[in-house]
């Protein structure tokens, strides 16, 4: 099976009964232009519509400023209320949470030396010599659940990109999207902006095809009355497929509770057997700390 954006385009045309076949996503035909206008927006919305397991990523953040003044080669101006400012990850579709206990003390973005981490969990462990057995890594720290820290996402004009920089996610001419937190050496757990269809779950792919079809069925219909009817049908199909994908994603997660009602836990954003709130009133959520976003459709419906 082929997994290219062009194949998604043609599946969308099949879904709305259009007999056109697109050879290239940017070929310039009426069908390709209409679908292309909807494609990236729909993909981003659907990525935010659930904490998809396969799109979860944890990575170090790039520090822009330290209000304490103790970090070299970064700014010191941070909006009041937080100590550290980090750049928005360029591949982030939705920030889930910033852990207060990091697993990557050797991967500190732009301000540390990875060689300080020597317990077998380094980012680039030694490669064993040829014809010799690999040496098992030294036992690292015990596995810990990630506890979310206080953070906020804002726009800040204090740290513009350097002249000539390639445009990137969260970076504009007048400012950039940043993450404020009190966590030093911060990492982020987020939904990656997965662009390659080869990495999508198949239920997600089916939901995306239906979602795009609901958006383009009207503009690609010669009879507008028929197009409105077709759009309504595609919206109902899309809502069903998105709901199915969400349920499957929730069922694949590990959930435990005193009263095992998994669908409630997944919707609220909680997994695990720890209290819902920590000793200082902080919310204790793990991989599902950031519950899914609502999804709006072309006819005004919301899921």
CA 64/CA 62 separation, integer angstroms: 6
Per DSSP, 75 falls in state B
Cβ count near 104 (within 10 Å): 19
CA 175/CA 214 separation, integer angstroms: 34
- Using the predicted structure, report yes or no on whether residue 223 has a pLDDT greater than 60: yes
Nearest to 283 by CA among 152, 97, 103, 142: 97
- What's the pLDDT at 98? 92
Q: How confident is the model at residue 117 (pLDDT cuts 50, 70, 90)?
A: very low
* Mean pLDDT of the 34-40 span: 95
* Residues 6+ positions from 27 with CB-CB distance below 8 Å: none
- What's the pLDDT at 219? 93
CA 79/CA 153 separation, integer angstroms: 11
pLDDT, tens digit, 9 for 90 and up, residues 54-77: 999 999 999 999 999 999 899 999
- Using the predicted structure, report yes or no on whether residue 136 has a pLDDT greater than 70: no
Which residue bears the tokens 């109902």?
236
Nearest to 53 by CA among 204, 196, 197: 204
Q: How confident is the model at residue 173 (pLDDT cuts 50, 70, 90)?
A: confident
Nearest to 286 by CA among 300, 276, 297: 276
- Using the predicted structure, report yes or no on whether residue 301 has a pLDDT greater than 90: no
Whole-model pTM? Answer: 0.75
pLDDT, tens digit, 9 for 90 and up, residues 78-89: 999 999 999 999
- What's the pLDDT at 143? 53
* Mean pLDDT of the 122-136 span: 43
């Amino acid at each position: 099976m082929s997994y290219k954006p062009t194949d998604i385009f043609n599946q969308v045309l099949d879904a709305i009964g259009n007999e056109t076949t697109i050879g290239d996503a940017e070929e310039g035909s009426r069908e390709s232009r209409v679908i292309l206008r909807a494609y990236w927006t729909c993909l981003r919305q659907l990525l935010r519509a659930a904490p998809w397991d396969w799109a979860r990523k944890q990575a170090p953040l790039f520090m822009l400023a330290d209000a304490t003044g103790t970090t070299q080669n970064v700014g010191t101006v941070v909006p009041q209320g937080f100590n550290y400012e980090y750049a928005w990850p360029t591949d982030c579709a939705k920030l889930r949470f910033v852990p207060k206990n990091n697993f990557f003390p050797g991967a500190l973005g732009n301000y540390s030396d990875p060689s300080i981490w020597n317990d077998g969990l380094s980012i680039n462990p030694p490669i064993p010599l040829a014809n010799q057995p690999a040496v098992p890594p030294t036992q690292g720290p015990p596995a810990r659940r990630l506890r979310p820290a206080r953070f906020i996402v804002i726009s800040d004009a204090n740290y513009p990109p350097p002249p000539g920089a390639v445009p990137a996610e969260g970076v504009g001419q007048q400012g950039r999207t940043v993450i404020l937190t009190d966590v030093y050496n911060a990492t982020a757990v987020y939904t990656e902006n997965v662009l390659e269809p080869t990495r999508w779950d198949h239920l997600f792919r089916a939901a995306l095809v239906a979602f795009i079809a609901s958006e383009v069925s009207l503009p690609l219909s010669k009879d507008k009355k028929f197009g409105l009817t077709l759009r309504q049908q595609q919206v109902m199909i899309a809502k069903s497929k998105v709901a199915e994908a969400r349920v499957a994603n929730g069922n694949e997660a590990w959930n435990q509770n005193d009263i095992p009602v998994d669908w409630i836990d997944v919707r609220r954003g909680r997994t695990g057997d720890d209290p819902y709130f920590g000793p200082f009133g902080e919310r204790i959520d793990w991989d599902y700390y950031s519950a899914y976003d609502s999804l709006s459709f072309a006819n005004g419906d919301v899921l």
